[in-house]
Amino acid sequence: MSLMKSFRYFLPATNLVFGKGMLEGIGAEVKKFGKKALLVTGRKSMKKLGFLSRSIDSFEKEGVEVIHYGEVMPNPTVDTVNKGAKGAIDNNCDVVVGLGGGSAIDTAKNIAVVAGHFQGEKISIWEFAGVHDKPRRVTSKTLPVIAAASTSGTGSHVSRFAVVTNEEKKQKIGIMSPFICPRLSIVDVDILSCMPLSLTSKTGFDALTHAMECFVSKRSNPITVLYCLNAMEVIFEYLPQAYNRGDDVEARKAMAVADTFGGWALVTSRPVLPHALSHPVSAFYPEIDHGVALAALTPEIMRFNIERGDEQTVNKYCHVARMGGEEINSFNRKEALKSVKVVKRLLKKIKLDVTLKSLGVEERSFEGIVESAFATMRVPIEANPVPVTREDILNLCSRK
Ligand code: NDP
Ligand code: MN
């Protein structure tokens, strides 16, 4: 592996509190950043499982006033962010806390942007989206964000990305700024152990794709590579275990560490084609979750990249296969294809072996998906180790 090209590396900016029962201390941590918090969650799970009330108790114990905004749904929208931001502005909140999966944490980050930049005018998170010629800049006015992760997949608890969907335009985009990196993240294994089977598999596969994609990415660097190799090895080994035995604390911890490494890989490299296409797939079909779209797209894109990739890319896919437990005898295209095999094997084990067709993605939406990808996901398209045209992508979508 050639590691000698020039690169820029910025230390990941999030502090971590990691372990069993750590949510208990959320009030004391948030108190360091403000007196009045907007607590952002999804609609049901955190309430039902008791983590919402535990958090509120912890805030109250520390004298932090808390306003709960519990309306986030998977694939959160511009309206959901703007409505939450209004709550933060009207209540003069000085810190935003995301308790939940990537959707709640991303929404907390985006609310922090809107509320922090509000100066009495009408304001929307969409002004900050990189689809415009001159998007509004995210600055240090952004309110501080604290996260408590309830899934192991997106890496959002340590990343400088926050995804939002514009339903009208059918565009799903990541706002990117160092100012939205959570100042502190709590990773409490008790919350992660509550994930049901399908959530474990789709979020775990998301984490694996962060590691695999940032590894083969044109934007990878020697430091990213370390995160990626470690995350891949751990996920191939522990994801089936976490899936089969949800209360296996060791497996949950392992997946949480791999998720964190995947997030740091995203921060220091860039994902490639599966992510570039999974966003528009979910924008067109909001019922298809991020990790599920990735499961449908990843194997064929890997095969495509191996068929057309240069020597370094082929070598990297051989390393992916190795991380998945395959023996690699020499570094060539045939051996590299073992990486597709290990990924497919994993997808079977975690009952996620789906295709675009089996998910109900219709051929007539392929062109729209490709256009949306070029409008919103140029960086991942350009970071793909093999250059791709619109036609290549259309062909890829049609592969079975
Ligand atoms: P979500 O946050 O969308 O949560 C999915 C579902 O799982 C929700 O219905 C939620 O319920 C439920 N849930 C969450 N945690 C638990 C738990 N511990 N136990 C039981 N149920 C639970 O899932 P993800 O974490 O996969 O986030 C996906 C989003 O993150 C997508 O929008 C994706 O694009 C984005 N993303 C962001 C990245 C980033 O860097 N910022 C990177 C990759 C993806 P309820 O809503 O009731 O709480
Ligand atoms: Mn992802």
Q: Residue range 14-34: average pLDDT?
A: 96
Q: Which ligand is nearest to the CA of 209?
A: 2
CB 101 within 8 A of CB 155: no
Q: Residue range 157-169: average pLDDT?
A: 94
Query: Cα–Cα distance between 69 and 91 in angstroms, integer?
Result: 12
Q: What is the pLDDT of residue 400?
A: 65
Pocket of ligand 1 (CB under 6 A): 41-46, 74-75, 100-104, 106, 150-151, 153-156, 159, 161-163, 191, 194-196, 199, 203, 206, 266, 290-291
Instruction: Give tens-digit pLDDT for 343-400.
Output: 999 999 999 999 999 999 999 999 999 999 999 999 999 999 999 999 999 999 987 6
Q: What is the pLDDT of residue 133?
A: 83
Has residue 3 got a pLDDT over 70? no
Report the atom number in ligand 1 closest to the C-alpha of 159: 40
Nearest residue by C-alpha to atom 32 in ligand 1: 75
Report the atom number in ligand 1 closest to the C-alpha of 104: 2
Has residue 4 got a pLDDT over 80? no
Q: How far away, in angstroms, is 58 Cα from ligand 2 center?
A: 31
Instruction: Give tens-digit pLDDT for 289-310.
Output: 999 999 999 999 999 999 999 9
Mean pLDDT for the chain?
A: 95
Instruction: Give tens-digit pLDDT for 200-244.
Output: 999 999 999 999 999 999 999 999 999 999 999 999 999 999 999
E strand or H helix at 88, and its extent? helix 78-90
Instruction: Give tens-digit pLDDT for 170-190.
Output: 888 999 999 999 999 999 999
What residues pack around ion ligand 2 (CB closer than 5 A)? 206
CB 13 within 8 A of CB 178: yes
pLDDT bin (cut points 50, 70, 90) of residue 2 is low
pTM: 0.95
Single-letter amino acid, residue 118: F
Q: Which residue pairs from 254-257 have beta carbons closer than 8 angstroms and sit at least 24 positions apart in sequence?
A: 255/152, 255/192, 255/200, 255/204, 255/207, 256/18, 256/149, 256/152, 256/187, 256/189, 256/192, 257/18
Q: What is the pLDDT of residue 311?
A: 97
Instruction: Give tens-digit pLDDT for 129-155.
Output: 988 888 999 999 999 999 999 999 999
What separation, in Å, do the N-terminal and C-terminal C-alpha atoms of the chain show?
A: 32
